[in-house]
């Protein structure tokens, strides 16, 4: 089997260290030309790729503004002529308990994670749409999917990325564009000191194969969420229970309260692929 990304062009944001660096290095080893984006110092990663015989250019633009996102995509176009894949990896943390979280810390995290992924992916999507091919990967987190103490801002941004992923997947389907989300579990500079050391032995390199599959031509999955870490790979699902059907006029508050066990029962739960699917499910049960 040849190199999976031969003649492909990939953008990795936040690629100066940690998971982003690992993604960029392996993409280059697999034949991709890589835009290594980081507001810090991406040059070292570019040099590593060049030393291994790969192709890469640095981008210092911030994902946090529309102009920065456009500049990152333009860097790929100027250097390599196109863009085939984007890994939206850039991230920061500003952890505070909900009661103490201030607006500046909320906005900073939303700017980099949620708005940043939008700013980069939208111009990339337009290029991909014209070409009839593209792969977008959004980096979510278990904090967003399941919640985590002291990370209300981070969790909100990361769950917002799930909604973005699923909608882009729906809109990109007829243009040969897939969009998926990955929730990495890895010991990186951003997670250093968190989780009481529970992921200290979860190496970043174990996340890389799943991430690269999701931006490869071989990937047929779209609109999905995957957890990856410590050598374990799993699909995360969003489902809805069959619920309780009142079958008449709007029920009373007491009626809803009395049926909460039935409303919450997992038996027969399904996983809608879109809002339309969920509406159809509700109608089919009425």
pLDDT tens for each residue of 190-209 = 555 554 554 565 678 899 99
CA 181 to CA 82: how far, in whole Å? 22
Q: Is 89 exposed, middle or buried (0-12, 13-18, 19+ CB in 10 A)?
A: buried
Domains of the chain: 9-236 (3.40.50.720), 239-286 (1.10.287)
How would you classify residue 62: left for phi > 0, otherwise alpha for psi between -120 and 50, otherwise beta?
Answer: beta
Bridge partners (DSSP) of residue 236 are 225
CA 180 to CA 173: how far, in whole Å? 12
What was the pLDDT predicted at 200? 64
Annotation says 133 is catalytic: no
What the block records as the tokens of 215 is: 């931006």
User: Considering the entire predicted model, what is its pTM?
Assistant: 0.93
Which entry of 23, 133, 154, 233 is annotated as an active-site residue? 154
What was the pLDDT predicted at 1? 53
What was the pLDDT predicted at 284? 86
Positions in the chain whose pLDDT score sits under 70:
1, 187-202
What was the pLDDT predicted at 188? 57
């Amino acid at each position: 089997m040849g190199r999976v990304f031969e003649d492909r062009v990939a953008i990795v944001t936040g690629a100066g260290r940690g998971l982003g660096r690992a993604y960029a290095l392996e993409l280059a080893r697999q034949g991709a030309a890589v835009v290594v984006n980081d507001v810090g110092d991406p040059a070292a990663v570019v040099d590593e790729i060049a030393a291994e015989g790969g192709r890469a250019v640095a981008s210092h633009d911030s994902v946090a503004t529309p102009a920065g996102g456009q500049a990152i995509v333009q860097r790929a176009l100027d250097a390599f002529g196109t863009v085939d894949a984007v890994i939206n990896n850039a991230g920061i943390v500003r952890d505070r308990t909900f009661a103490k979280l201030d607006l500046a810390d909320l906005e900073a995290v939303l700017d980099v994670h949620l708005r940043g992924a939008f700013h980069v992916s939208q111009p990339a999507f337009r290029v991909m749409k014209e070409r009839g091919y593209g792969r977008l990967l959004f980096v979510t987190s278990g904090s967003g999917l399941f919640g985590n103490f002291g990370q209300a801002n981070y969790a909100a941004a990361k769950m917002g990325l799930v909604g973005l992923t699923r909608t882009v997947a729906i809109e990109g389907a007829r243009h040969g564009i897939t969009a998926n989300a990955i929730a990495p579990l890895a010991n990186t500079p951003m997670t250093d000191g968190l989780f009481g050391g529970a992921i200290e032995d979860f190496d970043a390199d174990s996340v890389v194969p799943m991430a690269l599959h999701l931006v490869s031509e071989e990937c047929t999955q779209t609109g999905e969420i995957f957890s990856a870490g410590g050598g374990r790979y799993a699909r995360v699902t969003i489902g809805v229970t069959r619920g309780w059907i009142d079958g008449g006029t709007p029920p009373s508050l007491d009626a809803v309260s009395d049926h909460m066990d039935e409303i919450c029962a997992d038996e027969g739960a399904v996983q809608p692929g879109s809002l339309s699917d969920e509406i159809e499910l509700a109608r089919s049960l009425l």
